[in-house]
């Protein structure tokens, strides 16, 4: 949020599958930052709304194995479950509306981690004074203002979901590399992340040579599949079979 860099934007219904894809993008970026010498070493801070699939998606991607103990040392071993890491911080913003959709109340809570620590980190990052999703709400307004396909009443709608997804990905790249932000002191999100030292033009973005090998594509696919595999699934897959 501090750099306004948009990682991913997926078109489709708000299901567990789309929540997993978004969370996987955050996890891959977080691991890349930890490997980079200039990356952020702090634990990931995630601010979300009260969408039901988010807790399960975050646990599947970031969760660790929790081994449950047996009572009195008897009986079968309990199946391992997922638990959030100690350093994971997730804040939730919940909006209460009436039957007509009017906003009545906005509350916040800590899904994982302590609320005081989440609020303190938000203040240190300079992105607010409490748990909020204002940056995401502002981004939604920017997308609707610059993408005619997403306006509520428009004649430029997409008949195919695939074409709509490609147009959103194109807008995402132009937003990250060619659009300056007043809050970033007239820099682009890519400049804020030190990915470039100047504002790109649309022509430079189009003519920039991008050649991705098949090996790199397979590497990216393996990274996403490894992130989407929960710690419990990996534990069950690597668990040795008993020998009679």
Read off the pLDDT of residues 113-122 as tens digits, 9 standing for 90 and up: 999 999 999 9
Q: Where are the domains of the chain?
A: 16-146+209-238
**First vs last C-alpha separation in the chain:** 55
Higher pLDDT: 75 or 131? It is: 131
Q: Residue 40 pLDDT more than 60?
A: no
Higher pLDDT: 19 or 243? It is: 19
- With a CB cutoff of 8 Å and minimum separation 6, the contacts of 34 are 40, 41
Between CA 21 and CA 36, with CA 124 as vertex, the angle to 5 degrees is: 50
Read off the pLDDT of residues 46-66 as tens digits, 9 standing for 90 and up: 999 999 999 999 999 999 988
- With a CB cutoff of 8 Å and minimum separation 6, the contacts of 67 are 78, 80
Read off the pLDDT of residues 204-241 as tens digits, 9 standing for 90 and up: 999 988 888 889 888 888 888 888 888 888 887 776 66
Q: For the chain, what percent of residues have pLDDT higher than 90?
A: 39
Residue 47 DSSP one-character state:
E
Contact yes or no for 36/23 (Cβ under 8 A): no
Q: How confident is the model at residue 90 (pLDDT cuts 50, 70, 90)?
A: very high
> Edge to edge, what strands does the sheet with 45-49 contain?
45-49, 89-97, 103-112
């Amino acid at each position: 949020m501090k750099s306004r860099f948009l990682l991913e934007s997926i078109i489709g219904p708000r299901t567990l599958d789309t929540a997993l894809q978004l969370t996987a993008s955050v996890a891959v970026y977080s691991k890349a930052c930890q490997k980079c010498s200039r990356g952020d070493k702090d634990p990931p801070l995630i601010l979300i709304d009260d969408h039901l699939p988010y807790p399960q998606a975050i646990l599947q991607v970031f969760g660790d194995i929790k081994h449950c103990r047996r009572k009195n040392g008897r009986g079968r071993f309990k199946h391992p479950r997922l638990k959030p890491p100690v350093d994971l911080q997730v804040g939730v913003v919940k909006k209460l509306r009436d039957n007509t959709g009017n906003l009545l109340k906005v509350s916040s809570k800590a899904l994982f981690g302590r609320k005081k620590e989440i609020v303190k980190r938000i203040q240190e990052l300079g992105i607010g004074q409490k748990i909020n999703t204002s940056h995401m709400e502002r981004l939604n307004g920017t997308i609707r203002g610059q993408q005619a396909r997403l306006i509520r009443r428009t004649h430029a709608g997409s008949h195919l979901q695939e074409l709509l997804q490609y147009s959103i990905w194109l807008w995402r790249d132009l937003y990250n590399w060619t659009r300056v932000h007043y809050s970033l002191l007239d820099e682009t999100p890519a400049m804020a992340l030190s990915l470039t030292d100047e504002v790109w033009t649309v022509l430079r973005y189009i003519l920039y040579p991008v050649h991705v090998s098949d090996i790199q594509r397979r590497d990216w696919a393996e990274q996403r599949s490894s992130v989407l595999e929960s710690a419990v699934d990996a534990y069950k897959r690597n668990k040795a079979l008993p020998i009679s």
